Structure 1
Amino acid sequence: MKWYWAVVVFLLVLAGCTSAPSGITPVQGFELDRYLGTWYEVARLDHSFERGLSGVSAQYTLGEDGGVRVINRGIDSAGGEASQAEGRAYFVGDSNTGHLKVSFFGPFYGAYVVFELDPDYQYAFVSGYSRDYLWLLSRTPQVPASVMQAFRSRATELGFDLSGLIVSQPDDGGP
């Protein structure tokens, strides 16, 4: 009977990794077809699977199984070598909600929560399952200062600690 509880706890932990953080609401009216394509990482909180990478981008395409094929690319800052990871993503609930689960490591999934999205799909604010994961993605490698300020304000309002924020564009906020 002990194994049963171990399985239950393991499944709860896995489910928790695909949940949105408390108080963070995924966007509604999400349109996957408009979201597909290339996004550039303008800012992120540091984490182990992107540590030391710069020039990070993500390419989203429809997968053969109805999910989303994800290819993340970046340059290793230490050696200058290109790095690439391929994953897959699926909606957690309905396809009109910007809440997906993404996996780069077999059966293990993490949350991908779009909590702010430009009406023209030019930039997105994305969280993981906790406030330790945060990204500002854009269709271009740089964003206007107003977008960067809106990102910082919204993230702070939602309780993200931005002291370790990595910004990939000049401090002037870009174009």
Structure 2
Amino acid sequence: MKSKRPWTYGAAAFVVVAGLGALAALATRSAKRSGNAHVPEPSKAVDVERYLGHWFEFARYENRFERNAEAVTANYARREDGLVSIVNACRQGGLDGPYRASEGRAKIVTGSNGTKLKVSFFGPFYVGDYWILDHADDYTWSIVGEPTGRYLWILTREARPSAELRRTLLARAGALGYDVTMLRETQHA
């Protein structure tokens, strides 16, 4: 009886580990599905002073940090140091759920005409991209994304935009290349 070569066991272990790694990569990729494989560069300049203030989330791509969140709002204000303060708030688990808020800050990316911000909710490091991809001339709505296409937010100044505005916003997001079927509309009281 021939004995098996030691490298055969190593090769078999490598194939098993590589197969598990490939499955894990596929699971991770599908869990972080992009709704837009070709996110456009923001092209419409933003007057940050007009962008500041209170926004309601009309719709979003579902994400882990907003899971089960309703009545989502965002407040932006200029800080004394030139940065932008951010207060994101919601009702967790439904419109009557507990109030939750998260405070962060943003730095406007130099040379972006106010369209790109680096945001941080966790200390001094700017970890997130915030791209204002489109907005109304009167700053009554905006479409916000980031380079990977995994995140998308549509914000309005009113809690419940009209049916006409809703259709317009979905069409504009679609024109930017986003899969609008992935959007989840946010409930507001």
For normalisation by structure 2, the TM-score amounts to 0.72
Distance 2:187 2:78 in 1: 29
Which runs of structure 1 show a deviation greater than 4 angstroms over 4 or more consecutive aligned residues? none
1:105–1:129 distance in 2 versus 1, CA, 3 Å: farther
1:71-108 CA-to-partner distances (Å, cap 9, x unmatched) read 00000016811110000011122362311111112214
2:134 to 111, 116, 129: 116
Deviation of the 1:45 alpha carbon: 0.5
Structure with greater strand share of residues: 1
Give the distance between the partners of 1:53 and 1:81, measured in 2 at CA.
10
Equivalent-residue separation in structure 2 for 1:48 and 1:60 (angstroms): 22
Match among 134, 139, 155 for residue 157 of structure 2: 139
Match for residue 158 of structure 1? Answer: 176
Distance 1:83 1:119 in 2: 31
Partner of 2:109: 92
Are 2:74 and 1:58 equivalent residues in the alignment? yes
One-letter identity of the residue aligned with 1:143: P
**Are positions 1:39 and 2:55 aligned together?**
yes
Q: Note the residue ranges of structure 2 that are not aligned, 5 or more in a row.
A: 1-36
Alignment pair present for 1:167 and 2:189 = no
Give distance in 2, aligned partners of 1:146 and 1:130. 29
The more displaced of 156-165 and 76-85 is 156-165
Larger radius of gyration: 2
Higher helix share: 2
TM-score by length of 1: 0.77
Post-superposition shift, 1:24?
A: 1.3
For structure 1, which runs of at least 5 residues remain unmatched after alignment? 1-20, 171-175
State the alpha-carbon separation in 2 of the partners of residues 49 and 137 from structure 1.
17
3-state SS in 2 of match to 1:105: coil
Structure 2 distance, partners of 1:59, 1:142, is 17
* Secondary structure of 1:71's aligned partner: strand
What's the counterpart of residue 127 of structure 1? 145
Give the Cα–Cα distance (whole angstroms) in 2 for the partners of residues 27 and 88 of structure 1. 23
Distance 1:129 1:23 in 2: 6
After TM superposition, give the deviation of residue 66 of structure 1 in Å: 0.6
Note closer, same or farther for the CA distance 1:48–1:163 as it changes in structure 2 (3 Å cut).
same
8 Å contact 2:120–2:128 — kept in the other structure?
Answer: yes
Check whether the contact 2:56–2:155 (CA below 8 A) recurs between aligned residues.
yes
Deviation at 1:113, TM superposition (A): 0.8
Kept in 2, the 8 Å contact 1:71–1:84? The answer is: yes
Alignment RMSD: 2.1
SS in 1 for 2:127: strand
In 1, are the aligned partners of 2:70 and 2:187 still within 8 Å (CA)?
no
- What is the DSSP-based 3-state SS (H/G/I as helix, E as strand, rest coil) of the residue aligned with 2:158? coil
> CA 1:103/1:129 → structure 2, altered by over 3 Å: closer, same or farther?
farther
